[in-house]
């Protein structure tokens, strides 16, 4: 029997696969250091946990409106006003089962077969597959390391065709941690306006910023960018709530309505208890979150310093998120025990086998001469893991 052609073209998530493999090795008693994690290694703060328990006890455990409860929409509206200087009405907000579902909904709402979406390389693993699932075509735009892995308008112009419908911007970025500044955002917004494109701005790492940078939402630049941008955000990364599965999107009322209709027939409302917990996340005390950010900052400093010490590796110091994209170009072509390292998958597999260190091969993000290390793990693990990587590199010939 022939199964769906579309579904069979979708690749499994390489990042989830590697994380699962490392977890299994750990469960088997092997001393693995995992740098694969795409989630904070902290517990959800207690005030948020308590809000969930209260919701259960009060019987707030039934279906809610498909696009989310009013209390959470209002908390999201306040968050946008306070943090991003953006004004939205309730009908411009949708709450979904993670930012990932918001993205899936938005592509379904805006794409017709053959429509193209500009995707930055390196990209977050799910963008291309989500676009394909909505019958669209991802068009990859290489963002060079020399340009801190950011789009240039020149590259965007080259990638444009009559079928281009939308552009994705992800700042702070996964996997590179780079942040677009105001001038760079203005250039992208002008490009989108010139070619009448929808901007999909994935701001899920907004709260995880270190140093002097600030997060600016492209939607907040001017009236035009406000109208053409769908902002994607959520509580997963900022509040250590990855398992609760709450994300949200804001933007044009017509697009949000279509997203809500789609969601109402696929998953109905996101989990009711998690929605009440998210109200507390957004409105409540943020002390724990601030402590988490300080800890990430320390780890970032340490990881970047150690990578530089190793010598053969280079990286750009990330401004946000919790990843370091490491350039392994100088190691491609070397070999270990007679096995050639042709790309990032060989490097990562041999490293896992030999030194029991799990990293994500850059090919998962469209760049084969890199690996991504997450610093959402303890300083002790980072120290030990990088020493093992250093050892591994010494063994290469």
Binds ligand PLP by CB under 6 A, chosen from 204, 351, 357, 358: 204
Site residues for ligand PLP, window 63-122 (CB under 6 A)?
98-100
Separation CA 128–CA 10 (nearest Å): 9
Q: How far is the CB of 194 from ligand PLP (least distance, A)?
A: 26
Site residues for ligand PLP, window 119-148 (CB under 6 A)?
124
Nearer to ligand PLP, 160 or 256 (CB): 256
Chain position carrying tokens 């703060």: 45
Q: How far is the CB of 310 from ligand PLP (least distance, A)?
A: 26
Q: How far is the CB of 355 from ligand PLP (least distance, A)?
A: 25
Q: How far is the CB of 376 from ligand PLP (least distance, A)?
A: 11
171 binds ligand PLP (CB under 6 A): no
Query: What percent helix, strand, coil does the chain show, rounded to 5?
Result: 50, 15, 35
Name the one range near ligand PLP by CB under 6 A: 20-28, 158-166, 234-242, 259-267.
234-242
Nearer to ligand PLP, 21 or 334 (CB): 21
Nearer to ligand PLP, 51 or 168 (CB): 168
Q: What is the 3 state secondary structure string of 187-217?
A: HHHHHHHHCCCEEEEECCCCCCECCCCCCCC
Nearer to ligand PLP, 48 or 350 (CB): 48
Element (H, E) at 95: strand 93-96
Nearer to ligand PLP, 204 or 292 (CB): 204
CB atoms under 10 Å from CB of 266, counted, come to 14
174 binds ligand PLP (CB under 6 A): yes
> What string marks each residue from 3 to 42 as x (binds ligand PLP by CB under 6 A) or -?
-----------------------------------x----
Binds ligand PLP by CB under 6 A, chosen from 105, 176, 242, 260: 242
Residues in contact with 30: Cβ distance below 8 Å, sequence separation at least 6, in sequence order: 356
307 binds ligand PLP (CB under 6 A): no
Nearer to ligand PLP, 341 or 361 (CB): 361
**DSSP annotation of 141:** E
CB atoms under 10 Å from CB of 78, counted, come to 12
Binds ligand PLP by CB under 6 A, chosen from 202, 346, 355, 368: 202
Separation CA 304–CA 345 (nearest Å): 22
Burial environment of residue 103 by CB neighbours within 10 A (0 to 12, 13 to 18, 19 or more): buried
The closest of 236, 237, 200 to 217, measured between CA atoms, is 200
Count how many Cα atoms sit within 13 Å of the Cα of residue 225 in the half-sphere of its side chain.
22
Binds ligand PLP by CB under 6 A, chosen from 19, 236, 263, 377: 236
At 320, is the secondary structure helix, strand, or coil? Answer: strand
Nearer to ligand PLP, 15 or 327 (CB): 15
Instruction: 132-140: list long-range contacts, CB under 8 Å, 24+ apart.
Output: 132/6, 132/9, 132/10, 133/6, 133/10, 133/104, 133/107, 134/104, 134/107, 134/108, 135/6, 135/111, 136/107, 136/111, 136/165, 137/163, 139/164, 140/366
Cα Rg of the chain, angstroms: 21
Nearer to ligand PLP, 122 or 385 (CB): 122
Q: How far is the CB of 262 from ligand PLP (least distance, A)?
A: 16
Q: How far is the CB of 125 from ligand PLP (least distance, A)?
A: 8
Element (H, E) at 339: strand 339-340
Separation CA 75–CA 149 (nearest Å): 33
234 binds ligand PLP (CB under 6 A): yes
Q: How far is the CB of 246 from ligand PLP (least distance, A)?
A: 7
Q: How far is the CB of 168 from ligand PLP (least distance, A)?
A: 9
Q: How far is the CB of 332 from ligand PLP (least distance, A)?
A: 26
Please identify the residue of the shown chain whose CB is closest to the bound ligand PLP. 98
Q: How far is the CB of 53 from ligand PLP (least distance, A)?
A: 22
- Positions in the binding site for ligand PLP (CB under 6 A): 38, 98-100, 124, 170, 174, 202, 204, 234, 236, 242, 247
């Amino acid at each position: 029997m022939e199964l769906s052609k579309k579904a069979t073209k979708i690749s499994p998530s390489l990042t989830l696969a590697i994380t699962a493999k490392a977890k299994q090795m750990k469960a088997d008693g092997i001393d693995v250091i995992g740098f694969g994690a795409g989630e904070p290694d902290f517990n959800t703060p207690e005030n948020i946990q308590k809000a969930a328990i209260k919701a259960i006890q009060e019987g707030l455990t039934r279906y809610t409106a498909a696009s989310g409860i009013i209390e959470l929409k209002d908390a999201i509206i306040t968050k946008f006003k306070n943090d991003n200087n953006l004004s939205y009405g309730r009908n411009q907000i949708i709450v979904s089962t993670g930012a990932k579902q918001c993205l899936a909904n938005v592509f379904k709402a805006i794409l017709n077969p053959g429509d193209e979406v500009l995707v930055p390389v390196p990209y977050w693993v799910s963008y291309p597959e989500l676009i394909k699932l909505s019958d669209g075509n991802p068009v990859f735009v290489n963002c060079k390391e020399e340009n801190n892995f950011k789009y240039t308008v020149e590259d965007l112009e080259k990638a444009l065709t009559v079928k281009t419908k939308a552009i994705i911007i992800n700042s702070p970025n996964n996997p590179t941690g780079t942040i677009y500044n105001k001038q760079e955002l203005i250039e992208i917004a002008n490009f989108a306006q010139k070619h009448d494109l929808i901007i999909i701005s994935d701001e899920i790492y907004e709260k995880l910023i270190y140093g002097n940078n600030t997060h600016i939402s492209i939607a907040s630049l001017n009236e035009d960018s406000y109208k053409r941008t769908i902002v994607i955000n959520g509580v997963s990364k900022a509040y250590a709530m990855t398992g609760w599965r709450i994300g949200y999107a804001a933007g044009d009322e017509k697009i949000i309505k279509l997203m809500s209709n789609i969601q109402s027939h696929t998953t109905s409302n996101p989990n009711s208890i998690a929605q009440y917990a998210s109200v507390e996340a957004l409105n409540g005390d943020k002390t724990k979150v601030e402590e988490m950010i300080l800890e990430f900052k320390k780890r970032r400093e340490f990881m970047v310093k150690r990578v530089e010490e190793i010598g053969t590796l280079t990286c750009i110091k990330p401004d946000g998120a919790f990843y370091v994209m490491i350039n392994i170009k100088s190691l491609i072509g070397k070999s270990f025990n007679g096995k050639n390292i042709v790309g990032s998958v060989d490097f990562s597999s041999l490293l896992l086998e030999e030194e029991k260190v799990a990293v994500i091969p850059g090919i998962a993000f469209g760049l084969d001469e890199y690996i991504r290390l997450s610093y959402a793990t303890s300083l002790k693990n980072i120290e030990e893991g990088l020493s093992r990587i250093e050892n591994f590199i010494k063994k290469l010939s």
